[in-house]
Amino acid sequence: MQVVHSRFNALLSACVLSLVVTAGWSQSLTWLGTLGGSESLASGVSADGSVVVGWAYNAFGQWRAFRWENGVMQALGTLGGSYSVANGVSADGAVVVGVSLNAGGAWRAFRWTASGGMQELEGSYWNHHAKGVSADGSVVVGEGHRAGPLHAFRWTASGGIQNLGTLPGANESSARAVSADGRVVVGYARYAAGQERAFRWENGVMQNLGTLPSGGNSRANAVSANGAVVVGVAGNAAGQLRAVRWTASGGIQDLGTLGGDLVWASAVSADGSVVVGYDYAGQYRAVRWTASGIEDLNTTYASLLTNGSRLELATAISPDGRYIVGQGYNVATGRNEAFLLDTRCTAHNGDVDRNGCVDDADLLAVLFAFGQRGSYLGRVDVNCDGVVNDADLLTVLFNFRSGC
């Protein structure tokens, strides 16, 4: 009996300590504004959430690539033309990549740094777009063409632009993202008849990732840090687009839907456990997928949204899964704006499903997740310590039937 009593006291102390340590943690939503125009969209975020990149309209109705930091949105200029778009940013926020019109009216891939400004990627491609960048900013991927078909490319300072080719039988390809170390590239290839297939490229070999059973086209949009998890979209037998996740061992997996007939996976965390994107069913809704399934970010973070505002597109996520960026509607300004969402865990009383009552469903949720670890476990990590354990279970038990 003494052993049980000691065990109980130890668990109680751990639970109380965890609640004290995490009580000050809070989530936040920041609308990033525009460059004087009517709209903006975020497409990338640094590892620590301090830098966001994307595009915004200026006062003259022109797109401009931007880099946002410390509440200031900076226009990155162009390569001589009227428009530019930022598509990705390095982990430390120092390197930005994207595409800009040059003075001759051609789209050119760029790489921006504070010291060098916006510089066109070296290479002999006439039209090329940079879509993604490695964690250290040294590898850039995208799509481009000379006189022939569009092809995926991989760029380094020492090697310039490398044509990655395409899948057997296909005539075009596009690279959309690159692993943290620059080793794995993902994207899609297009065949003459118009079919598209997601690919994963590594060490000169382009692998066809296939599509859903009896489905149609597929595209890969993002890849985990080690290149093992790929996310994107694929058509199902009904002709609807579904968010999907590929692994070598599990193949292709439909991530599920909130009821929309167009569901898109945009980005994935470093460990492959958190995916973000959007679901469309008459209205766009930014969503997140974890081991617990799909969730509407507008519901999960409703307390951060002014009545009438909404999160519509989730386009990028930080490596640890904490920061999510994209586009939503800001009712305060009456326009679509880029947003930065800090999803940092907030300790709670054990009401895992947010129905106002700590009950059997909450207890079962914690029990089924018991022992799981990770940077984002959702509300089953009741005290926000990165593991579902005795302390979380005790919080549920101590508050059982509360609010019911």
Q: Residue 68 maps to which CATH number?
A: 2.120.10.30
In this structure, the answer to whether residues 307 and 264 fall within a common structural domain is yes
**Residue 145 pLDDT greater than 70, yes or no:** yes
| DSSP state, residue 363 | H
In this structure, the answer to whether residues 231 and 286 fall within a common structural domain is yes
Rounded distance between C-alpha atoms, residue 42 and residue 54, angstroms: 4
In this structure, the answer to whether residues 137 and 172 fall within a common structural domain is yes
Instruction: State which of 12-26, 126-140, 143-157 shows the largest mean pLDDT.
Output: 126-140
Give the bridge partners for 140, in sequence order. Answer: 133, 155
**Residue 4 binned pLDDT confidence (cut-offs 50, 70, 90):** very low
Residue 111 lies in a domain: yes
Would you state the structure tokens that stand for residue 290, as one six-digit string? 């974890």
**Residue 122 pLDDT greater than 90, yes or no:** no
In this structure, the answer to whether residues 180 and 243 fall within a common structural domain is yes
Residue 332 lies in a domain: yes
> For the chain, what is the domain count?
2
Rounded distance between C-alpha atoms, residue 276 and residue 294, angstroms: 9
Close Cβ partners of 124 (under 8 Å, ≥ 6 residues apart) = 146, 161
Q: How far from 360 is each of 317, 347, 351, 355, 381, CA to CA, in Å? A: 33, 19, 10, 12, 16
Q: Which runs of E-coded beta strand occur in 310-376?
A: 310-317, 323-330, 335-342
| Final residue belonging to a domain, choices 347, 370, 396 | 347
Name the packing angle between helices 390-398 and 360-368 (round to 10°): 180
In this structure, the answer to whether residues 164 and 193 fall within a common structural domain is yes
In this structure, the answer to whether residues 301 and 377 fall within a common structural domain is no
* pLDDT per position as a tens digit, 163-209: 999 999 999 999 999 999 999 999 999 999 999 999 999 999 999 99
In this structure, the answer to whether residues 384 and 249 fall within a common structural domain is no
pLDDT of residue 214: 81
Residue 214 lies in a domain: yes
pLDDT of residue 386: 85
Close Cβ partners of 26 (under 8 Å, ≥ 6 residues apart) = 344, 346
Over its C-alpha atoms, the chain yields an Rg (Å, rounded) of 23
Nearest one of 301, 257, 294 to 279, comparing CA atoms? 257
**Residue 379 pLDDT greater than 90, yes or no:** no
Q: What percent of the chain is modeled with pLDDT above 90?
A: 82
Residue 5 lies in a domain: no
CA end-to-end span of the chain: 32
**Residue 146 pLDDT greater than 50, yes or no:** yes
- Give the strand order in the sheet containing 80-89: 80-89, 96-102, 107-113, 117-120
Domain with 103 in it: 27-347
| Residue 402 contacts residue 395 (beta carbons within 8 Å) | no
Pairing of strands 36-45, 28-31: unpaired
| Residue 83 contacts residue 98 (beta carbons within 8 Å) | no
pLDDT of residue 344: 85
Residue 2 lies in a domain: no
In this structure, the answer to whether residues 109 and 230 fall within a common structural domain is yes
Mean pLDDT of the chain: 91
**Residue 345 pLDDT greater than 90, yes or no:** no
Q: Once rounded to an integer, what is the mean pLDDT over residues 376-382?
A: 82
Q: Which helix (H) or strand (E) holds 397?
A: helix 390-398
Residue 51 lies in a domain: yes
Q: Once rounded to an integer, what is the mean pLDDT over residues 219-241?
A: 96
| Distance of alpha carbon 38 from the chain centroid | 24
In this structure, the answer to whether residues 38 and 167 fall within a common structural domain is yes
Check residue 169 and give left, alpha or beta (phi > 0: left; psi -120 to 50: alpha): left
| Final residue belonging to a domain, choices 332, 347, 362 | 347
Would you state the structure tokens that stand for residue 352, as one six-digit string? 């895992």
Residue 3 lies in a domain: no
pLDDT of residue 123: 73
Q: Residue 376 maps to which CATH number?
A: 2.60.40.4130
| Final residue belonging to a domain, choices 309, 324, 347 | 347
**Residue 137 pLDDT greater than 80, yes or no:** yes
In this structure, the answer to whether residues 341 and 377 fall within a common structural domain is no
In this structure, the answer to whether residues 174 and 58 fall within a common structural domain is yes
Would you state the structure tokens that stand for residue 87, as one six-digit string? 């598509």
Residue 1 lies in a domain: no
pLDDT of residue 26: 62
pLDDT of residue 49: 96
Rounded distance between C-alpha atoms, residue 205 and residue 181, angstroms: 17
In this structure, the answer to whether residues 354 and 339 fall within a common structural domain is no
